[in-house]
Structure 1
């Protein structure tokens, strides 16, 4: 065991790339909501692309370090401390046995990802370690982390790096593709694209409920239940959009006006209650190109920069000696 949970935070779960191929059986994909931050945290450690991480929401967790390891973080700006030493999000950190690793409340963004050397060693369910709390599968017994939970990591060597993750864009523009019932909203498209929508308190891993201009569907808002997809924007009877996300139901019966482009999902899921978003229409071809370009940027290191704060880079052996000498 490497980490013991002292405080689980607000909503901390084990996630990976997601559980694919089981929606027909009623199992949502789950998986890391900000796929870009998830990839970057693992890349910094040289982990496999589907390695399990911890996803912390709005307020992070705290841990007792049980064995020396190396961690990396990416995503929302959360205060992070190793004992009493402040460490910035987006860096690689050596943590030593006996230390406390603690995260606070996010000052910007909503979700921070914690990766460990080799990835967290969690049994898979239906091909994934991702937690889906509504069905109670994956991760730590299908639930959020609890005080006292102990986490193992696969471990392995980590190449010393002086890189850090750059700040991400945080503008309000979300690009979307016309949805299955787009034609039902022809009289409301100007309203949809020209009005801003605010995230309500009802925003979680299942979906984001928005507040703003009401949209009316010609022929009604109900449809025969159809398979859902990541980013589907449903318009229920009250006319207020709901964006379906990773833990969504596998089928839905409300008209869908649009679908969020995959390239903009990371930006969307880092929004929080009270934030405003605006929609811009693009076509499927453009959405595919944008997603490919974004994946290429991640893998090519575009989101990394040189970390000139050398005080953050620890020499574990010298710190162990210093700790022994203080006893």
Structure 2
């Protein structure tokens, strides 16, 4: 047993890279919305890149530490508290049994990822440890965390690589590829899509982002035969307001799809919060494919890391335990 949940935050679930090859049977892929953050925090801790992490939305959790371990966060930036000490995001932090770990509210971005050495130990369902709350499968009992939940991790000896995750500066431009029903929309609708700002509404979640902005009319019809959906599909229902489908999306949909978000821009997109605005830029399939390959290379390399110059977070276990025994 590694942690006991004292405060579960707003919407905290276990996620890995996702549940694939089962959409034909109606199972959503789920998985970490910010795939880059999930991979980077695992890489920092020396875990398998697919290891389960804790995804927190807008506000983090408070955990009682039940055994010595090492953790780190990635994604949205939030202050980290270990008892009375404060630590920065993106650095490995050694925890000692009996301490309290608190992840604060997201100050830049909206989704915080907590990784633990070895990865969180939750059951695999259809090849994934990801939570899908609507169907109640995967992760920790198929649901968000609650007070009193006890979380386990796989045993793993952490070896510091002397690195930290860089801070990200992101713009609000989302690159999109014309979709399957792009021709259903006239020139006026296309000009609106690429020449206007769209606001993320409060009705957005892991299933999709609902946008508010200039109405997009599909002269060729908003309703189409149901087709398989994909991550980043931009559907336009009869009200003309776009919906970007995300990780917990339905597996098939019957609304005209005007575009699809380039995979390379998904991490930037999902770190936006309700009330923020987006603009869209058109690219083609080849360009989107190239951008995604470049992003995967950056993740696999050390481009998103920088030297760890302050080793305060990698506290010596023996010194800490002596201090606690002495009450220092």
Q: After TM superposition, is the score higher than 0.5? A: yes
TM-aligned CA deviation for residue 322 of structure 1? 1.1
How far does the alpha carbon of each residue in 1:35-84 deviate from its partner, in whole angstroms, 9 at most, with x for none?
00000000001101211110000011110000000111101011210111
1:305 maps to 2:299: no
* Coordinate RMSD, CA, aligned: 1.0
Q: Kindly indicate whether the alpha-carbon contact (under 8 Å) linking 1:92 and 1:161 is maintained by their aligned counterparts in 2.
A: no
* Structure 2 residue aligned with 1:79: 79
TM-aligned CA deviation for residue 98 of structure 1? 0.1
TM-aligned CA deviation for residue 27 of structure 1? 0.5
Q: Kindly indicate whether the alpha-carbon contact (under 8 Å) linking 1:80 and 1:88 is maintained by their aligned counterparts in 2.
A: yes
* Structure 2 residue aligned with 1:97: 97
> How far apart are the structure 1 equivalents of 2:271 and 2:186?
30
TM-score, scaled relative to structure 2 = 0.98
1:35 maps to 2:35: yes
* Structure 1 residue aligned with 2:270: 269
* Structure 2 residue aligned with 1:259: 260
- Superposed structure 1 runs of 4+ greater than 2 Å apart: 307-313
* Structure 2 residue aligned with 1:199: 200
TM-aligned CA deviation for residue 301 of structure 1? 1.1
TM-aligned CA deviation for residue 307 of structure 1? 2.4
TM-aligned CA deviation for residue 288 of structure 1? 0.8
Q: Kindly indicate whether the alpha-carbon contact (under 8 Å) linking 2:94 and 2:313 is maintained by their aligned counterparts in 1.
A: no
TM-score, scaled relative to structure 1 = 0.98
Question: SS of the residue aligned with 2:49?
Answer: coil
Aligned length: 327
Which structure 2 residue ranges, 5 or more long, are not aligned?
none
> How far apart are the structure 2 equivalents of 1:325 and 1:167?
37
Which structure 1 residue ranges, 5 or more long, are not aligned?
none
> How far apart are the structure 2 equivalents of 1:238 and 1:170?
30
Question: SS of the residue aligned with 1:310?
Answer: coil
1:50-129 aligned within 5 A: 50-129=50-129
> How far apart are the structure 2 equivalents of 1:106 and 1:264?
20
Once structures 1 and 2 are overlaid, which stretch shifts more, 272-281 or 153-162? 153-162
* Structure 2 residue aligned with 1:140: 140
